[in-house]
Amino acid sequence: MQNNNTQTTIQEDVIDLRELFAVLKRRKKLIWLITGLFTLLALVYVLVATPWWQANTTLEVGKYIDKQTGKEVYLENGTAVSQRLKVKYIDIYKHIKNRESKITSITAAKKNPQFISITALGKSNTLARTEINKVINDLQNKHQKIIDEIIAKKKSKLDEIDREILQTKEYKITDIAQNINYVKTNKLPTIDQKIASMKAELKSAVKQKEEATKNLSSLTGDNASLAALRLAQIQGLEYKISENRINLIDLKSEKEKIIISILPSLKRKMEELKQIDLVSLREKRSLIKLSMQAHNYHNTTVIGKVITQEKPVKPKKLLILIVSFITGLMLSIFLAFFLEFLQGMKKEN
């Protein structure tokens, strides 16, 4: 029983396929007519349509070398650059029709967004290339201004360091040198003169005291008033001697302080200015000067060159013809079966 059912199903399928092919055979003129019409229209469109040429390139965002860290620093973030250019050259022009050329894509690379791909279409390779060159020139001009601003800031810093060097050499070191010279040629000799004068006064006072003491001892008891006078003179001389000795000690202490403390301090300060401050300033100046050299700055550049195509990318002639042929064929087959269905309905009625 089951074998009979299977055979019946196979026979029905064979009959249905035969009927299908019979319908296609009866309607073959219609099928070929519609398919040919679609293909002909596609061929006319392909021949009449304006060809579009494609150009593309890849840019690397400009950068400079930071001399302090030795690392490359990009002028802008590539993702932000691509978004800004996309708005400026694609989004703003979307509503403008009948353009001779246009930018179709601006994208930053996923792995390294500092590399930006740009694609343009034009009614000729020249127009497509020109459209890309507009973007390149715009970005290069912007980034050159950034580079100029960086160099200008470094130049300002360089001028500031030059002023500090000049101030250190012409004012700070000169002032200290003048102070040292003043101490050596004026202050110390003055103190030496005072010490010599004080020693002479002290020697004279000691001698006067000795003479007054001798004179006092030679007086007799009848000369009491004269003895009192001599005694007062001796006391005055002793006070003067004591005062001179104190002043002499002060002068020597002052001289010792100048020799041991003040002069060495001034000399150390001068050496610090020469060996530390000036050297540090000159090193900073040298680093900034090196960082200002042209080879440390790279504007946005084209990787390779702007690539154009030998053939237009639009319209895709072969693809359009194939799609039109297949579309016409499918539509005509559907129409053939639909007409056959309508005809069958009429016969039944």
DSSP track, 158-222: HHHHHHHHHHIIIIIHHHHHHHHHHIIIIIHHHHHHHHHHHHHHHHHHHHHHHHHHHHHHH--TT
pLDDT for 250: 92
pLDDT for 309: 84
Name the one residue in this structure whose structure tokens are 């989004």.
91
pLDDT for 221: 55
pLDDT for 38: 85
pLDDT for 75: 93
- Tokens, residue 54: 């494609």
Kindly report each contact of residues 17-26 with a partner whose C-beta sits within 8 Å and lies 24 or more positions away, as own/partner.
23/336, 23/337, 23/340, 24/333, 24/336, 26/340
39-76 as b/e, with b when 16 or more CB fall inside 10 Å? beebeeebeeeeebbbbbbbbbbbbbbebeeeeeebbb
pTM above 0.85, yes or no: no
pLDDT averaged per 10 residues, the chain (length 349): 47 59 77 86 79 92 85 92 94 88 93 93 92 94 94 93 92 91 92 91 86 72 68 83 89 92 92 91 90 90 88 80 87 82 71
Give the start-to-end residue ranges of the domains of the chain: 156-295
What span, in angstroms and rounded, lies between the C-alpha atoms of 273 and 177? 12
pLDDT for 219: 62
What span, in angstroms and rounded, lies between the C-alpha atoms of 249 and 274? 36
Start-end of H helices in the chain: 2-26, 28-48, 78-86, 125-167, 173-182, 188-218, 224-257, 263-272, 278-291, 317-348
Return all residues near 133 (Cβ < 8 A) that are at least 6 apart.
Answer: 306
Nearest to 136 by CA among 91, 103, 111, 113: 103
Start-end of H helices in 69-124: 78-86
Nearest to 59 by CA among 297, 301, 298, 299: 301
What span, in angstroms and rounded, lies between the C-alpha atoms of 228 and 54? 129
pLDDT for 12: 46
Between the CA atoms of 32, 34, 39 and 45, what dihedral angle is there, to the nearest 10 degrees? 160
Alpha-carbon 310 to chain mean position = 40
What span, in angstroms and rounded, lies between the C-alpha atoms of 114 and 301? 11
